[in-house]
Amino acid sequence: MNSNTRTIINLNTWDRAKSYEFYKNFVNPQVCITAEVECTAAYEDCKENSTSFFRKYVYAILRSVNDIKELKYRIEVKDGEEQIVLYEKISLLTPVKINSNGEFTTIKVPYHLTFEKFNSVMDDILASLDTQIAEPYYQEEDSEKWGFCDVVLVSALPDLHFTSISPTQSCSYGSRKPIINVGKAVKKEGKMMMPIAISFHHGLCDGFHISNFYKKVEDYLKEL
């Protein structure tokens, strides 16, 4: 099992304390932004070599999240009180289809710096998956019990090119983690463009950090 450093944030010294206190009691503290990223090189390479485009873009997303501290903060509840926790590494939580009728299960894939290692680990996880007992859903309240606090949820909609999306929200204080949806890549003016929507708690993260996230995803896709 991969170790993961977990730091409880002191709200008295935290540089985001004022933002968090301001937004935490909003009816909806979540913000959802959708933007397109260019993915031409990665898309065409996968098409030419019959490899998984999904694997490449979820890796690029996961690496970008791990580059940005504000996307690694999580809200956890202990004895009825909220606390902010910073994780050293964030893993991928993603639904994968297990049969042709659309049934799916959710897997957790640890973060690895190189795509080759990440891809190999995902191969192993999928090969060992027991689809008879696999669990497709979990509740936010079960995150700590299931070990799903240190994750980012990434869902793929490969047949739909969307311009906006609103994710579900089960908790009044917002999601414990960023929720990311990725749509169908389409050609625009000679470039493959792919929509990515990210929903995040505004007390933990600002638009500046999200802009940086999109830039990093696009840059990493060019490298793969």
Q: What is the pLDDT of residue 1?
A: 44
Give the whole-number percent of the chain exceeding pLDDT 90. Answer: 71
The tokens for 81 are 């009180």
Domain-located, residue 112 = yes
Domain-located, residue 105 = yes
Res. 112 pLDDT band, cuts 50 70 90: very high
Domain-located, residue 218 = yes
Q: Is the pLDDT of residue 180 over 90?
A: yes
Q: What is the pLDDT of residue 77?
A: 83
Domain-located, residue 31 = yes
Domain-located, residue 132 = yes
Contact yes or no for 165/177 (Cβ under 8 A): no
Domain-located, residue 16 = yes
Instruction: Report how many domains make up the chain.
Output: 1
Domain-located, residue 58 = yes
- 110 compared with 147, residue with greater pLDDT: 110
Res. 63 pLDDT band, cuts 50 70 90: very high
pLDDT tens column, 139-173: 545 555 545 689 999 999 999 999 999 887 766 66
For the ranges 30-39, 99-108, 192-201, the lowest mean pLDDT is seen at 99-108
Domain-located, residue 1 = no
Q: Is the pLDDT of residue 133 over 70?
A: no
For the ranges 2-6, 205-209, 218-222, the lowest mean pLDDT is seen at 2-6
Beta bridge partners of 74: 85
Q: What average pLDDT score do residues 123-148 get?
A: 64
Q: What is the mean pLDDT of the chain?
A: 89
- 145 compared with 32, residue with greater pLDDT: 32
Q: What average pLDDT score do residues 187-213 get?
A: 97
Alpha-carbon distances of 75 from 29, 89, 137, 144, rounded to whole Å: 12, 15, 20, 11
Q: What average pLDDT score do residues 60-89 get?
A: 94
Q: What is the pLDDT of residue 218?
A: 98
Domain that holds residue 125: 6-223
Contact yes or no for 55/213 (Cβ under 8 A): no
Angstrom distance (rounded) from CA 125 to CA 115: 15
- 173 compared with 109, residue with greater pLDDT: 109
Q: Is the pLDDT of residue 122 over 50?
A: yes
- For the chain, helix, strand, coil in percent to 5 are 30, 30, 40
Q: What is the pLDDT of residue 171?
A: 67
Beta bridge partners of 38: 193
